[in-house]
Amino acid sequence: MKIAIGSDHGGFRLKEEIKSYFAKEAGNQQITLDDLGTHSEESVDYPDFGAKVARAVAAGEYDFGIVICGTGIGISIAANKVPGIRCALCSDTFSAKMAREHNDANVLAMGERVIGPGLAREIVAAFFSSDFAGGRHARRVEKLRALEQ
């Protein structure tokens, strides 16, 4: 599984925590995690990094993406502007699980100023351990895709 991760300055520290989580906890799985920036806490614009991750996922370069800003709101809005992206802003594990199972979300958004690193790790684990359920949800996801036309 290939995952792109990106953040603005407001999500930089949480992004580093998530990278560490994947290196330690998920290191035994077949996961490649690529950091698409930003690479410091110097002020940058969240739409640039939300779009960068989303475009890479939409192009098929990555299976999934993770985007992080201060609240997760702005960067999730930016990611969702890219056709083919279903970015879910999650602040709890149930939402993360349902985002994958019911909505076939391909990008996870989080807010560094909203959740701590421990909960963020649990959200990431819930998101990536869940699969799209299909069935009645497939029809609904198709309707989401049709909205992009």
Structural domains of the chain sorted by starting position, each given as residue range(s) with its CATH number in brackets: 2-146 (3.40.1400.10)
Annotated binding site: 8-9, 70-74, 103, 113, 136, 140
Annotated binding site for D-ribulose 5-phosphate: 8-9, 70-74, 103, 113, 136, 140
Helical residues (DSSP H) of 26-116, grouped into ranges: 46-58, 73-80, 93-101
User: Is the preceding omega at residue 32 within 30 degrees of 0, hence cis?
Assistant: no
What is the Cα 105 distance to its own chain's centre? Answer: 8
**Catalytic residue list:** 69, 102
Question: For residue range 63-118, what is the model confidence (pLDDT) as tens digits?
Answer: 999 999 999 999 999 999 999 999 999 999 999 999 999 999 999 999 999 999 99
Paired strand residues for 4 = 34, 65
pLDDT surpasses 70 at 26:
no
Sort residue 85 into left (φ over 0), alpha (ψ -120 to 50) or beta.
beta
Q: Please give the model's pTM, rounded to 2 decimal places.
A: 0.97
